[in-house]
């Protein structure tokens, strides 16, 4: 059985991972796949990516790096994404992974006008989501956790925005039959979101945000979390027996 890749482009800060775990664990829990079905590839630290034909699918994680830095490992991964699209490989990019997918496929990534977007956001579906395999499973509005400074400012040719926040029109994007990405973090729990806000408390204050107000607004995000399971169901087609209980 081919593995599902977790393409690791970064890691949670130590103060968060020591209490909540790290990216691969969060995605494994959200995807509800057995650990034996997953293969973590740490591209940030030099791991080589397998041939897309040898994979069942790929999830590309978030990172503290910036896509606009065009770091060598990031650009190599962008090239792999282009090859994976040619193979029609199921892919889900999240935050940095979302931006990297758009960059790889011809979109434009840069800093979000108005600065950082952080906390539990209201996400609204666009009309284009109605007939989409994943978008059609979501309510018209739902909550999702986010923390980012850069965003997809221009979509690649042929890509379609399915959902937006008040400030970012590209929070859920469809690129092809089996390729989607989210700016928000479906793998975050409410506890993880609070930990990120606490960690950025000083920076948020300098930027004119109220960390206490952001903390008060953190709520569970079940619809965003279910998107991970929806990706497995709609795109990975993993047999039920190989899913986690």
Query: Is residue 55 among the annotated active site residues?
Result: no
Cα 92 to Cα 144, 178, 209, distances in angstroms? 16, 8, 30
Q: Of the residues 39, 98, 145, 185, which is catalytic?
A: 185
Catalytic residue among 145, 187, 209, 235: 187
Give the Cα separation of 201 and 210 in Å (integer).
8
Residue 216: CB partners within 8 Å, gap ≥ 6? none
Sequence-distant (≥ 6) Cβ neighbours of residue 67 within 8 angstroms: 74, 96, 99, 100, 103, 109, 150
Of the residues 39, 44, 55, 95, only one is catalytic, namely 95
**Is residue 185 annotated as part of the catalytic site, yes or no?**
yes
Sheet with 91-94, edge to edge strand ranges? 38-42, 4-8, 57-60, 91-94, 179-182, 172-176, 160-164, 117-125, 141-148
The yes-or-no answer on residue 35 being catalytic is no
Residue positions annotated with a catalytic role: 95, 185, 187
């Amino acid at each position: 059985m081919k593995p599902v890749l977790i393409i690791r482009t970064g890691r949670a800060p130590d103060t968060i991972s020591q209490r909540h775990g790290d990216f691969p664990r969060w995605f494994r829990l959200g995807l509800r796949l057995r650990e034996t079905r997953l293969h973590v590839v740490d591209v940030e630290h030099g791991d080589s990516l397998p041939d897309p034909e040898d994979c069942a699918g790929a999830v590309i994680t978030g990172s503290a790096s910036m896509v606009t830095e065009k770091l060598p490992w990031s650009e190599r991964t962008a090239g792999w994404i282009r090859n994976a699209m040619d193979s029609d490989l199921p892919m889900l990019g999240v935050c940095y992974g979302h931006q990297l997918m758009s960059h790889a496929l011809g979109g434009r990534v840069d800093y979000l006008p108005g600065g950082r977007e952080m906390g539990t956001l209201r996400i609204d579906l666009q009309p284009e989501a109605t007939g989409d395999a994943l978008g059609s499973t979501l309510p018209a509005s739902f909550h999702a956790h986010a923390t980012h400074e850069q965003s997809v400012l221009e979509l690649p040719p042929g890509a379609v925005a399915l959902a937006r926040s008040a400030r970012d029109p590209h929070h859920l994007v469809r690129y092809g039959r089996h390729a989607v990405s989210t700016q928000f973090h479906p793998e975050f729990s409410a506890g993880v979101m609070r930990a990120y806000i606490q960690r950025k408390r000083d920076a948020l204050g300098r930027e004119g945000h109220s960390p206490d107000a952001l903390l008060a607004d953190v709520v569970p995000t079940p619809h965003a979390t279910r998107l991970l399971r929806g990706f497995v169901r709609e795109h990975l087609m993993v047999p039920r027996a190989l899913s986690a209980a």
